[in-house]
Structure 1
Amino acid sequence: MTSSPKPSRRTMNSEEERLQLVSTARILHDAGYSPGTSGNISVRIGDDIIVSPTGTRLGSLNADNLSMVDLNGDYISGSKPTKESVMHAAVYRARPLDRVVIHLHSPFATALSCLKGLNSNDALLPLTPYYIMRVGRLPIVPYFAPGEKSLAAAIEHAAHDSHAILLANHGTLVSAPTFEDACAATEEIEATARLFFTIGERATNTLTARQVIELLAKFQ
């Protein structure tokens, strides 16, 4: 009995997933979550990663002009990839069931990443059930220059325990099995960070430890 041939890279790069990547990127850009050419997005197809190119606005991506890298973040084909493709590859190595990674410099989450004194295991308080349901927790990775291999190593370590990460003085990094889930978690981090700054120093009711555990057991 002969085995089935291994799918070629051309076969694996489905047009539908490229279009989904472009559509999701535009949604995030139009929401104001990726100023200028900041932020990047990717989808994993087998052992290949389709990622947004360097120096390109998320709102102006083209399905035919994306980049392809491998699971080490090394260039394969297409446009020149973002230098942060190594971060995406690190997440996929740590979380083989996740297929989408979104990295943003959204305003409130990035402001949060610049604060001192945050809980390094979870930068945000459990203000709403939706934060727990969609994000779970938000550990902080210390600052490294964008694109550095040391940053990728720190991300790979953190991603084993969390699909959402806050990069100090940088932004957010979120992974999920689908575009919809990754986008929802990314938006929830920004919404919760905005609540955090809006509440400020006022006395705050947060979810109890028991409520958090119940939500995690049901939705994570």
Structure 2
Amino acid sequence: MTFSINSKSEESKHREQIVEFGKSIFDRGLTAGSSGNLSVRLDDGWLLTPTNASLGRLDPATLTKLDWDGNTVSGLPPSKEAFLHRAMYSTRGGAKGIVHLHSTYSAAVSCMCGLNHDSCIPPLTPYFVMKVGRLPLAPYHRPGDPDLAAVIEKLAAKNSSVLLANHGPVVSANSLEAAVNAAEELEETAKLFLLLKGVETRPLDEAQIQDLKKTFNLDI
């Protein structure tokens, strides 16, 4: 069953937004093939990009709509990583949009040895702190492994974003647009992190981080 987008309801606007951001992400090379997924929280459930769907060629009428028990209400079958989004939403009540990508630089960092699992990319810039905050590393699970849901729930209690080992980031925010911006900031910071590997760096210290949180009223 597909969704009629004739009326400009809030849901139809969210569907069009998912398509718009999906194409932007795909066109700029932040995802490839049918990898990655986007979602938006609704009053009566949530929207998710379908399984095996390219983010560059989404149809607003066939996006998957699910209820909070994980049942498909309408649209194509959901991504096998739907549980990542559901786990994040269930833990972070303020999360309204989620982006999961296999973006190159973030995925590269997720494959590295010796990372700090509590904060795997240091706070190199204020913008990383403002949009992402601290980025914990979730241990490796195969794609679609439901056991990862409990890991996400635990990490999401104190973090708006998580990096999945040998996989990629899961980023939440108070809107899909904010989540997309945060995912892009994470990707750029991951690139900086790799460019600076082996070079002595000067990350922001705790006082500087707290100043940002106080000044910008951050809750990430």
On whether the aligned pair clears a TM of 0.5, the verdict is: yes
| Worse-matched range after superposition: 52-61 or 196-205 | 196-205
User: What are the ranges of 5 or more consecutive residues in structure 2 without an aligned counterpart?
Assistant: none
- Find the residue that maps to 2:112 and give its secondary structure: coil
Q: Which of 154, 159, 164 pairs up with 2:156?
A: 159
Q: Using the TM superposition, give the Cα deviation of residue 109 of structure 1 relative to its aligned residue in structure 2, in angstroms.
A: 0.1
8 Å contact kept, 2:39–2:176: no
8 Å contact kept, 2:87–2:150: yes
Q: Which of 143, 146, 158 pairs up with 1:146?
A: 143
Partner of 2:181: 184
Task: Report Cα offsets for 1:94-145 as digits up to 9, x if no partner.
Answer: 0122111110000000000011111111111111110011111101111111
Q: Which of 95, 109, 112 pairs up with 1:112?
A: 109
- Find the residue that maps to 2:62 and give its secondary structure: coil
Partner of 2:75: 78
Q: Which of 181, 194, 198 pairs up with 1:197?
A: 194
Partner of 1:95: 92
8 Å contact kept, 1:136–1:216: no
- Find the residue that maps to 2:201 and give its secondary structure: coil
TM-score normalised according to structure 2 size: 0.91
Q: Using the TM superposition, give the Cα deviation of residue 13 of structure 1 relative to its aligned residue in structure 2, in angstroms.
A: 6.3
Q: Does 1:39 align with 2:62?
A: no
Q: Using the TM superposition, give the Cα deviation of residue 74 of structure 1 relative to its aligned residue in structure 2, in angstroms.
A: 2.9
The 5 Å alignment of 1:23-38 reads: 23-38=20-35
Q: Which of 125, 130, 137 pairs up with 1:128?
A: 125
Partner of 2:14: 17
8 Å contact kept, 2:101–2:170: yes
Q: Using the TM superposition, give the Cα deviation of residue 70 of structure 1 relative to its aligned residue in structure 2, in angstroms.
A: 2.1
Partner of 1:7: none
Q: Using the TM superposition, give the Cα deviation of residue 209 of structure 1 relative to its aligned residue in structure 2, in angstroms.
A: 1.9
Q: Using the TM superposition, give the Cα deviation of residue 93 of structure 1 relative to its aligned residue in structure 2, in angstroms.
A: 0.4
Q: Using the TM superposition, give the Cα deviation of residue 56 of structure 1 relative to its aligned residue in structure 2, in angstroms.
A: 0.8
User: What are the ranges of 5 or more consecutive residues in structure 1 without an aligned counterpart?
Assistant: 1-9
| Worse-matched range after superposition: 205-214 or 181-190 | 205-214
Task: Report Cα offsets for 1:70-94 as digits up to 9, x if no partner.
Answer: 2233322210110111111111100
Instruction: State the number of aligned residues.
Output: 211
TM-score normalised according to structure 1 size: 0.91
- Find the residue that maps to 1:17 and give its secondary structure: helix
Structure 1 residues 205 and 157 mapped into 2: Cα distance closer, same or farther (>3 Å)?
Answer: same
Question: Which ranges of 4 or more aligned residues in structure 1 deviate by more than 3 Å?
Answer: 10-13
CA–CA distance in 2 between the matches of 1:72 and 1:90? 11
Query: Sequence identity, in percent?
Result: 40
